[in-house]
Amino acid sequence: MPHRLEWFMIEMVNGFWGSLTIWVDVLPWKLNYGVFLTALSFFLIKGIRESGFKRIILKWLEL
């Protein structure tokens, strides 16, 4: 498997586990949307800061 594709798949798996964590946190509160939106925005901001779309794209286009 090409290195780029492997790295991209790892990023996708990390995103999946992040969203799964959000749902596990939210479901006990019976989908309290305030909690859901807070958790979602936290993970989105954290994900953008840590991985960053720019870095993902640059890594993907790396020759």
Summarize pLDDT for 19-47 with one digit per residue, the tens: 666 566 656 555 566 666 777 777 777 76
**pLDDT band per the 50, 70, 90 thresholds, residue 63:** very low
Look up residue 62 and give its amino acid. Answer: E
Tell me the average pLDDT across 41-63. 66
Q: Residue type at 5? A: L
Q: For the chain, how many structural domains are there in total?
A: 1
Instruction: Check residues 63 and 35 and name the one with the higher pLDDT.
Output: 35
Two tokens, residue 14: 């990390």
In this predicted structure, what is the pLDDT of residue 13? 67
CA angle 15, 21, 23 (to 5 degrees): 110
Q: pLDDT > 90: what percent of the chain?
A: 0
Question: Which structural domain, as residue segments, surrounds residue 15?
Answer: 3-61
Residue 22 contacts residue 43 (beta carbons within 8 Å) = yes
DSSP 62: -
